[in-house]
């Protein structure tokens, strides 16, 4: 009897901790949709472009070139039973002259040809390739298991955002200063 109960639990826990390739969940068309949809979230926008304009369709070629230049990759993927998707992206960081890498973890929902309800859960620090492979997998495994990475947010060696000062705004589709952040309080006071 115990085996009957423990076996499904073990299979579930093992599947949550296992790395999943995007092709296990998505056909090539949907992989491309996910990959292209997240480029404006994860790649640097063109200079002088307002943050709100980074999703403009006219920038598709720019982001395609940036993705190629940085080696952006849809590394891991998971779909929860409630149809929420989780994705892990990795790319070289141009600011470090291509030596360092960053990873981005996100959840979202998807219908036939669009993605919605996007939430970015983490952006890592810039780190070397061997380190990004290790920490991105730790963070993605936690995201899959818990649907958040709350227990790692204070780890400044791994996590760049979120932080005590910055969180992701689903409404604004970008990282924003937290209302209760000390930096935000200083900025608000300086406007008075």
- Cα separation, 27 vs 128, in Å, equals 31
More confidently predicted of 108 and 8: 108
* pLDDT on residue 12: 46
Cβ atoms within 10 Å, residue 125: 19
Q: Quick one: 38 exposed, middle or buried, by C-beta within 10 A (0-12, 13-18, 19+)?
A: buried
Pick the range with the lowest mean pLDDT from 5-14, 27-36, 122-131, 183-192: 5-14
What is the dihedral sign for C-alpha 138, 163, 62, 117?
A: positive
Q: Quick one: 19 exposed, middle or buried, by C-beta within 10 A (0-12, 13-18, 19+)?
A: middle
Q: What is the mean pLDDT of residues 49-73?
A: 93
Q: What is the mean pLDDT of residues 146-171?
A: 94
* pLDDT on residue 48: 87
Please give the structure tokens belonging to residue 117: 């309800």
The pLDDT tens digits for 15-35 are 444 457 898 999 999 999 999
The pLDDT tens digits for 102-152 are 999 999 999 988 999 999 999 999 999 999 999 999 999 999 999 999 999
- Ordered DSSP codes for 97-138: TTSSEEEEEEEEEE-SS-EEEEEEEEEEPPB-HHHHHHHHHH
Q: What is the DSSP letter of 27?
A: -
Q: What is the mean pLDDT of residues 165-184?
A: 89
Q: Are 39 and 55 in contact (CB under 8 A)?
A: no
CB within 8 Å of 163: residues ≥ 6 apart = 153, 156
User: Based on C-alpha coordinates, what's the Rg of the chain?
Assistant: 18
Q: For the chain, which residues make up each domain, given as ranges?
A: 2-161
* pLDDT on residue 62: 96
Q: What is the dihedral of CA 179, 185, 189, 192, to 10 degrees?
A: 0
The pLDDT tens digits for 67-87 are 999 999 999 999 999 999 999
Q: What is the mean pLDDT of residues 52-61?
A: 92
- pLDDT over 90 at 91, yes or no: yes
The enclosing H or E element of 88 equals strand 85-92
* pLDDT on residue 19: 58
More confidently predicted of 92 and 99: 92
Average pLDDT, the chain: 88
Q: What is the mean pLDDT of residues 167-183?
A: 90
* pLDDT on residue 52: 83
């Amino acid at each position: 009897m115990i085996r009957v109960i423990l076996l499904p639990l073990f299979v579930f826990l093992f599947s949550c901790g296992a790395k999943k390739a995007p092709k296990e969940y998505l056909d090539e068309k949907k992989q491309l949709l996910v990959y292209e949809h997240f480029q404006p979230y994860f790649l640097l926008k063109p200079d002088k472009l307002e943050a709100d304009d980074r999703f403009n369709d006219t920038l598709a070629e720019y982001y395609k070139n940036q993705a190629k230049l940085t080696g952006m990759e849809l590394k891991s993927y998971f779909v929860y039973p409630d149809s929420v998707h989780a994705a892990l992206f990795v790319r070289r960081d141009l600011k470090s002259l291509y030596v360092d890498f960053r990873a981005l973890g996100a959840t979202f929902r998807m219908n036939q040809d669009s993605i919605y309800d996007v939430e970015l859960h983490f952006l890592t620090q810039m780190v070397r390739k061997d380190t990004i492979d290790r920490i991105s997998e730790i963070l993605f495994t936690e995201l899959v298991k818990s649907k958040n990475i709350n227990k790692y947010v204070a780890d400044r060696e791994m996590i760049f955002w979120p932080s005590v000062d910055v969180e992701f705004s689903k409404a604004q589709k970008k990282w924003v200063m937290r209302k209760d952040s000390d930096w935000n309080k200083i900025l608000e006071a300086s406007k008075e």
